[in-house]
Amino acid sequence: MVVEIFASADTVRGHDPDTEKEGGDTKKAPDTDLNTGGETAWSRCYRVTVVCVVLLCVLLLTAVTVLWIKFTILNTENNQLQTSYNNLTKERDQLQTSYNNLTIERDQLQREIDGYRSTLHLCYKGRCFNFDSSVYYMSNEEKNWEESRQDCREKGADLVIINSKEEQEFISKILSRRKAWIGLNDRDREGEWKWVDGTPLNTGFWGQSEPNSAAGEEDCVVIHDHTDPVWNWSDYPCSRQFIWICEKTVVI
């Protein structure tokens, strides 16, 4: 019995709470080691994250720097291109101005050439005379007033219009005592004398007792220098045949 009691006591002692606590403490040591290992892993993860963030910032800064450099280069090139464009535009405008001036000069020369050609055509088979800015053609043949005017118009001219005393004296001088049709008539209304360009007669150089319509229907006018170099117009029937004088204004 004594032996069994001791055995029981030993058994009971084997289940001592303190012993179990110590055993429990002994079993908890590995947990402390696990916590230390966890803290080390977290620290490594944090450091890696920081390094990644720093690298990302560096990469972003590098990218921004590269982009800024490219932007600066492109902006400089753009400014240079804009300057070149402005210069080219200015040169284009200067060339356009030169072209316009040359076109004006060309047109002026063309008008002069056309005037000379028309004058040559006007003077073909006839006598030409110059006075002021006009060229005069005096025919060698005789026709009625309407046919005479038609011939002038085919030459790019018209029957002469006398606007001044000086022109009247010049025409009288070249006639050599012949009668010639001029561009004056009153065929539309009796007594209303008009030039071939439609302007009314303001200053006339009629001969004595003219116009008189002596032969009836004397609606056209001739000039002659029989008696007076100035006052020598007469009205005649338009069907009569005389030489004629054409006039063309030459603009140079």
- Encode the chain (252 residues) as per-residue pLDDT tens digits: 444 444 444 544 454 544 444 444 444 444 545 455 556 888 888 888 888 999 999 999 999 999 999 999 999 999 999 999 999 999 999 999 999 999 999 998 888 777 666 666 667 666 788 898 898 999 989 999 999 999 999 888 999 999 999 999 999 998 878 899 999 999 999 889 999 999 999 999 999 889 987 767 899 999 987 678 899 999 999 999 999 999 988 765
Distances (CA, A) of 136 to 13, 111, 227, 249: 162, 19, 23, 9
pLDDT of residue 118: 65
pLDDT of residue 127: 79
Contact yes or no for 141/233 (Cβ under 8 A): no
Contact yes or no for 248/235 (Cβ under 8 A): no
Q: Cα separation of 38 and 42, whole Å?
A: 6
pLDDT of residue 251: 64
**R_g of the chain, CA atoms, integer Å:** 61
Q: Which residues of 69-81 are buried (b: 16+ CB within 10 A; e: fewer)?
A: eeeeeeeeeeeee
Structure tokens at 244: 């004629």
